[in-house]
Amino acid sequence: MARFSGRSWAPSDPGATGSASGSRSTGTAAGSPGGRPHGRHQHARTARPKPVRVRSVAGQVFALQVVVVLLLVVAAVLALVVQSRNDARQEATTRSVAVAQTYANSPGIVEALRSPDPSAVLQPSAQAARINAGVDFIVVLNNDGIRYTHPNPDRIGHKFVGDYQPALSGQVVTEEVTGTIGPLVQAIVPVRAPDGQIVGMVSAGITIANVSSASERQLPVVLGAAAAALGLATGGTALISRRLKRQTHGLGPTEMTRMYEHHAAVLHAVREGVLILGGDGRLLLCNDEARRLLDLPPDAEGRPLADLGLEPAPLELLAAGRSVTDEVVMAGERLLAVNVRPTDRNGGPPGSVATLRDSTELLALTGRAEVAQRRLRLLYDAGVSVGSTLDVTRTAEELAQVTVGRFADIVTVDLAEQVLEGDEPPAGPALLRMRRTALATAHGDPPFYPVGTVVEVTPSTPLAGTLSSGLPGVEPRLAEAQAWREQDPEGAERVLAHGVHSLVRVPLKSRGVLLGVARFWRSEREEPFEEEDLALAEELVSHAAVCIDNARRYTREHAMAVTLQHSLLPRNLPAQNALEVAHRYLPAQAGVGGDWFDVIPLPGARVAMVVGDVVGHGLHAAATMGRLRTAIHNFSTLDLPPDELLGHLDELVNRIDQEESASGGAAAVTGATCLYLIYDPVSRRCTLASAGHPPPALVRPDGTVVFPELPTGPPLGLAVLPFETVELEVEEGSRLVLYTDGLVEDRQRDIDVGLELLRAALSGPPRTPEQTCADVLGALLPARPQDDIALLVARTRVLPADRVAQWEVPADPAAVSGVRAAVAERLEQWGLDEAAFVTELILSELVTNAIRYGTGPIRVRLLLDRSLICEVSDGSSTSPHLRYAATTDEGGRGLFLVAQFADRWGTRYTATGKVIWTEQPLE
């Protein structure tokens, strides 16, 4: 509680002061002389409560509030008055100019000015305009300043009072004058004839008093707010007065001041530290001895206990909230005996009171044990925290962070550049080139090389000797040593100027391989490094070296696996017109997986999209992914339906498992998922089948997102049922989104939650596939992906109807000529006259074969895409094959000619027969 001088704690009535002017009740039959009263003071009831005196705290607060409110009200009223006057002048100027310009530009005013009697024509309209505009006058003048109109007809024909000369040169004049009707603002504007000649002037004016301002209407609001504020201040003062009386138990300022002085004298006189803590963990009160023992800052009172910079041991006891009896803890260099008791017993306030006794004399007996304990604790913490990840840089940072402030004030770790890349460091007795990998400091910004700097080792320095011999070294007094300065003389001077005075250097060596060096520097601590500190430094660095070497090996293998994985994935997507495609592939940080994706052009301008995921991680999963991707490419050349292709892929996975089992390998494939989709831009139909893979997302042009229901089959390698195909009709401009489970599922997120997040990310206005990929990853990508993520987004296109031609062909050889003529005509319309001969030759052979050896119906279709596609379909499932006819054979050369003239050709089977197709380049 703070002390106040003077009479600020005087009571509000004589009975509360204990003075001679009033009697004090003790709450018992007889008063106890000189003692503290028990219970509340009893006062005689009065008809009216006495007003709060100004000399009380509540009265002072009330007076201050009244003064502040009055000052604010006066300032607000003055501001409103000034603003009202300014607004009135501005409004008068604006209205007078607007009225004058409007009347000067009104129809017929030029003719009226040139008429024989302008006043007769203009006076009525000027008066009507003045009344409608709400101004005080509208006066029309000639070029000599003679009035043609005026609200007072007696003044017509007299000279105009005002500066109208600038208006004769085409300017708009505004001025404030004081006329017979009071202060006013008048505007004078010229009247121009159609040829630009000024034939007269118009002046409009309005008195400032007639312009009302919104600021004047706010005065009642300000005064009302002031009255409300005064009312609140009065009520608040009354409440504060009552609460002060209740909290002080009726004691007056004199009694409370005397009580505080006695408490303060006792508190600061005892030779034990005393601290009073609140229930919220804040330090309420402490004496001088507690400040000395705990090194508390001057502003410690009122701050949370955790923000006072206490040692962990005393902080834990003081914040425990339990009774403590003579527990001995270290606080800096002092040994303290701590006692803690809660204050909330018997209805007291929440919190605790603690006493501290200095028992530093016991430190001499336990000093060595404490040092050993601290070192063991440091070694334990280093063993737990160093090497928590398989990252070389992070491991070096952990070594620096765990030792700085506890063993050294500054720690630097330099590693060979090859180690950071996962490679073997250069062979030889010493490293001559390293890179600063970690730098940790306890305080300040020391003048050391920053992280990432290349450190060139000078061969003649102690640092080179340590790296060459593999033995640690110590420089107890750097200022007296000279050899270490040869590494960087200027930098050495800056280090010494910063206060660094001692150094320990330990080489990072693991499994006979020299990785780098760790150096420990002291600047804040006065004691230098000694020989016995080398053992602790070697223990710390040897553990870190093993962790760094493990991380280096992992980095190398991870880089190899990632390189293999990326080499097996498509580098560039093939060119095609059916889909606009964007993709993303993000490998897992913990290890490569077997996710893959592909876009495969198919005959007939169709495109296949595929995503898949091999179960497991590592090189075997990546290699298996490459085999499956190659197999899909091979199966797609057969133009198989999605269900049949997945069936062949399932047999391949089973065969891989059997080969691994037969060879005794333990890395058998436990399964793989795959989604295969074929999109036809002519029919806008999408055919797809799934082998245990999450369903694709279909984003319609209006922004709605659906996940088509698929008869999802079992994963590849586990099939017991045949796969099924589903067909969807897709609108032009829709987006097909294919992905692997790493995008929507992880250890912290269920797949249903992930699918809803994906739906939210895809919903909304149309976006490009590239932007869609960015938005999806931004919404769903975890901080550290535990699994590979493959994302494929394709926006559908439709082959225009004018680029598709189709004919029904009767099963009659005579119909071939008609088809050839129709095809030639269509090619002429497409501007492909040069390709007509080859196309007619190809179609003649294919249609003739369909008539001779196939069954109806027979159809011919031409597609104009990136190439010219010819398709002949019939109801037979017999496929023609290419052969070389002998010189004596009369036939058998048709398909050979087709293969020679066409860029590509082949057969695909449908549910009703087959299609023979060819592709011809457009150039």
pLDDT at residue 76, as a whole number: 74
Which one is predicted more confidently, 370 or 324? 324
pLDDT at residue 379, as a whole number: 86
Least confident of 34-43, 272-281, 377-386, 403-412: 34-43
Instruction: Please report which confidence band the pLDDT of residue 884 belongs to, taking 50, 70 and 90 as the band edges.
Output: low
Give Cβ neighbours of residue 26 (< 8 Å, ≥ 6 apart): 32, 35, 37, 38, 39
Nearest to 780 by CA among 750, 747, 743, 738: 743
**Mean pLDDT, residues 420-442 taken together:** 82
Instruction: Please report which confidence band the pLDDT of residue 41 belongs to, taking 50, 70 and 90 as the band edges.
Output: very low
pLDDT greater than 70 at residue 405: yes
Instruction: Please report which confidence band the pLDDT of residue 34 belongs to, taking 50, 70 and 90 as the band edges.
Output: very low
Q: Which residues of 679-690 are buried (b: 16+ CB within 10 A; e: fewer)?
A: bbbbbbebbbbb
pLDDT at residue 151, as a whole number: 87
pLDDT greater than 50 at residue 823: yes
Query: Please, are residues 189 and 70 in contact by the beta-carbon 8 Å criterion?
Result: no
pLDDT greater than 50 at residue 32: no
Nearest to 669 by CA among 656, 686, 688: 656
Within 13 Å, how many C-alpha atoms sit on residue 877's CB side? 4
pLDDT at residue 888, as a whole number: 46
Least confident of 279-283, 564-568, 674-678: 564-568
Give Cβ neighbours of residue 566 (< 8 Å, ≥ 6 apart): none
As to burial, measured by CB atoms within 10 angstroms (0-12 exposed, 13-18 middle, 19+ buried), residue 116 is exposed
Give the DSSP letter of residue 481: -
Which helix (H) or strand (E) is 776 found in, with range?
helix 769-780
Q: What percent of the chain has pLDDT over 70?
A: 86
Least confident of 202-206, 648-652, 899-903: 899-903
Angle, in degrees to the nearest 10, between helices 619-637 and 642-662:
140
pLDDT greater than 80 at residue 59: no
**Mean pLDDT, residues 324-329 taken together:** 83
pLDDT at residue 313, as a whole number: 84
Measured in degrees and rounded to the nearest 5, phi and psi for residue 597 equal -150, 165
**Cα 810 from chain centre:** 66
pLDDT greater than 90 at residue 258: no
pLDDT at residue 279, as a whole number: 83
- At 605, the amino acid letter reads A
Which one is predicted more confidently, 1 or 803? 803
Give the DSSP letter of residue 307: G
* 728, β-bridge pairs: 686
- Distance (Å, rounded) from C-alpha 73 to C-alpha 88? 22
**Mean pLDDT, residues 435-439 taken together:** 93
Q: What percent of the chain has pLDDT over 90?
A: 20
Q: Which residues of 838-873 are buried (b: 16+ CB within 10 A; e: fewer)?
A: bbbbbbbbbbebbbeebeeebbbbbbbbebbbbbbb
Least confident of 192-206, 250-264, 345-359, 722-736: 250-264
**Mean pLDDT, residues 395-399 taken together:** 93
- Distance (Å, rounded) from C-alpha 479 to C-alpha 492? 9
**Mean pLDDT, residues 355-372 taken together:** 68
pLDDT greater than 60 at residue 889: no
pLDDT greater than 70 at residue 499: yes
**Mean pLDDT, residues 98-125 taken together:** 85
**Mean pLDDT, residues 445-469 taken together:** 88
Which one is predicted more confidently, 146 or 266? 146
Instruction: Please report which confidence band the pLDDT of residue 135 belongs to, taking 50, 70 and 90 as the band edges.
Output: confident
pLDDT at residue 796, as a whole number: 94
pLDDT at residue 249, as a whole number: 66
- Distance (Å, rounded) from C-alpha 824 to C-alpha 844? 12
Secondary structure (DSSP) of 141-186: E-TT-BBS--SSGGGTTSBP-S--HHHHTT--EEEEEEETTEEEEE
Instruction: Please report which confidence band the pLDDT of residue 894 belongs to, taking 50, 70 and 90 as the band edges.
Output: low
pLDDT at residue 365, as a whole number: 55
Least confident of 303-317, 502-516, 662-676: 662-676
Give pLDDT tens digits for 756-801.
999 999 998 989 999 999 999 998 887 777 788 899 999 999 999 8
pLDDT at residue 769, as a whole number: 94
- At 617, the amino acid letter reads H
Which one is predicted more confidently, 333 or 111? 111
Give Cβ neighbours of residue 724 (< 8 Å, ≥ 6 apart): 643, 689, 711, 713
- Distance (Å, rounded) from C-alpha 866 to C-alpha 920? 9
**Mean pLDDT, residues 856-863 taken together:** 89
**Mean pLDDT, residues 734-762 taken together:** 89
pLDDT at residue 525, as a whole number: 85
Q: Kindly tell me the sign of the dihedral angle through the C-alpha atoms of 208, 210, 212, 216.
A: positive
pLDDT at residue 294, as a whole number: 85
Measured in degrees and rounded to the nearest 5, phi and psi for residue 674 equal -155, 145
- Residue 406, SS3 per DSSP: coil
pLDDT at residue 690, as a whole number: 92
* CA distances, 709 to each of 652, 698, 734 (Å): 27, 11, 17
Q: Kindly tell me the sign of the dihedral angle through the C-alpha atoms of 636, 639, 642, 645.
A: negative
pLDDT at residue 56, as a whole number: 59
Least confident of 304-308, 660-664, 721-725: 660-664
**Mean pLDDT, residues 80-95 taken together:** 77
Q: Return the number of other C-beta atoms located less than 10 Å from residue 192's C-beta.
A: 15
Query: Please, are residues 97 and 172 in contact by the beta-carbon 8 Å criterion?
Result: yes
Instruction: Please report which confidence band the pLDDT of residue 232 belongs to, taking 50, 70 and 90 as the band edges.
Output: confident
pLDDT greater than 50 at residue 20: no
Give pLDDT tens digits for 658-714.
777 766 555 555 678 999 999 999 999 999 999 989 999 999 999 999 999 888 788
pLDDT greater than 60 at residue 832: yes
- Distance (Å, rounded) from C-alpha 759 to C-alpha 793? 14
- Distance (Å, rounded) from C-alpha 821 to C-alpha 812? 16
* CA distances, 613 to each of 512, 756, 791 (Å): 40, 21, 12
Instruction: Please report which confidence band the pLDDT of residue 914 belongs to, taking 50, 70 and 90 as the band edges.
Output: confident
- Residue 913, SS3 per DSSP: strand
pLDDT at residue 30, as a whole number: 36
pLDDT greater than 70 at residue 158: yes
pLDDT at residue 212, as a whole number: 57
pLDDT at residue 734, as a whole number: 94
- Distance (Å, rounded) from C-alpha 67 to C-alpha 71? 6
Query: Please, are residues 642 and 725 in contact by the beta-carbon 8 Å criterion?
Result: yes
Nearest to 372 by CA among 535, 233, 210, 587: 535
pLDDT at residue 881, as a whole number: 62
Instruction: Please report which confidence band the pLDDT of residue 887 belongs to, taking 50, 70 and 90 as the band edges.
Output: very low
Across the chain, mean pLDDT equals 81
Instruction: Please report which confidence band the pLDDT of residue 79 belongs to, taking 50, 70 and 90 as the band edges.
Output: confident
Least confident of 530-539, 544-553, 659-668: 659-668
Which one is predicted more confidently, 279 or 704? 704
pLDDT at residue 681, as a whole number: 93
Which one is predicted more confidently, 368 or 111? 111
- Distance (Å, rounded) from C-alpha 25 to C-alpha 571? 97
Preceding peptide of 476 cis, ω within 30°: no
**Mean pLDDT, residues 133-145 taken together:** 86
Give pLDDT tens digits for 179-207.
777 788 888 999 888 888 888 999 988 88
